[in-house]
Amino acid sequence: MENPLTPEVLADPVALTRALVDIESVSLDEKAIADCVEEVLRRVPHLSTFRHGNTVMARTDLGRDSRVVLAGHLDTVPLNDNFPSTMRGDLMYGCGTSDMKSGVAFALHLAVTLPDPRYDVTYLFYEAEEIESRYNGLTLVGGAHPEWLQADFAVLLEPTYGIVEVGCQGTMRAVVTLHGERAHAARSWRGVNAIHGAGEVLRRLSTYEARRVTIDGCDFREGLNAVRIGGGVAGNVVPDRCEIEINYRFAPDRDPAAAEAHLREVLAGYELTVTDAAAGALPGLKAPVAQEFLAAVGSAPRGKLGWTDVARFAAMGIPALNFGPGDPNLAHHKDEHVELTKIRDGAATLHRWLTPA
Residues 236 and 90 in one domain: no
Asked if the model's pLDDT at residue 1 lies above 80, the reply is no
* pLDDT, greater one: 71 or 1: 71
The catalytic residue among 30, 75, 130, 165 is 75
Residues 190 and 162 in one domain: no
Q: How many domains does the chain have?
A: 2
CA distances (Å), origin 135, targets 50, 158, 244, 343: 19, 18, 27, 29
Do the domain assignments include residue 2?
no
Q: Domain span at residue 180?
A: 170-278
pLDDT one-digit tens code per residue, 267-281: 999 999 999 999 999
Residues 242 and 348 in one domain: no
Alpha helices in 238-339 (DSSP H): 256-266, 288-297, 310-315
Task: Determine contact, residues 141/126, Cβ cutoff 8 Å.
Answer: yes
Residues 151 and 298 in one domain: yes
The rounded distance, in Å, linking the Cα atoms of 22 and 143 is 31
**Final residue belonging to a domain, choices 229, 245, 278:** 278
Q: Residue 65 is part of a domain; what is its CATH number?
A: 3.40.630.10
The catalytic residue among 38, 99, 127, 129 is 129
Q: What is the CA 52 to chain-centroid distance, rounded?
A: 20
What average pLDDT is seen over the chain? 96
Alpha helices in the chain (DSSP H): 7-10, 13-21, 31-42, 102-113, 137-144, 198-206, 256-266, 288-297, 310-315, 340-354
The one-letter amino acid at 21: V
Q: What dihedral angle (degrees, nearest 10) is formed by the CA atoms of 276, 223, 302, 258?
A: -50
pLDDT one-digit tens code per residue, 305-334: 889 999 999 999 999 999 999 999 999 999
pLDDT one-digit tens code per residue, 128-178: 999 988 999 999 999 999 999 999 999 999 999 999 999 999 999 999 999
- Cα angle for residues 170, 174, 178 (degrees, 5° grid): 155
Radius of gyration of the chain (CA): 23
pLDDT one-digit tens code per residue, 31-61: 999 999 999 999 999 999 999 999 999 999 9
pLDDT one-digit tens code per residue, 201-232: 999 999 999 999 999 999 999 999 999 999 99
The rounded distance, in Å, linking the Cα atoms of 349 and 344 is 9
Residues 80 and 54 in one domain: yes
Alpha helices in 43-165 (DSSP H): 102-113, 137-144
Instruction: Give yes or no for a cis peptide into 84 (omega within 30° of 0).
Output: yes
pLDDT given for residue 310 in this prediction: 94
β-pairing verdict for 153-156 and 67-73: parallel
Do the domain assignments include residue 334?
yes
H helix and E strand count, the chain: 10, 19
Residues 268 and 331 in one domain: no
Residues 227 and 306 in one domain: no
75 annotated active-site: yes
Residues 44 and 156 in one domain: yes
Residues 144 and 177 in one domain: no
Query: How confident is residue 357, by pLDDT bands cut at 50, 70 and 90?
Result: confident
* Nearest CA among 183, 240, 229, 234 for reference residue 206: 229
Task: Determine contact, residues 317/73, Cβ cutoff 8 Å.
Answer: no
Task: Determine contact, residues 61/120, Cβ cutoff 8 Å.
Answer: yes
Do the domain assignments include residue 1?
no
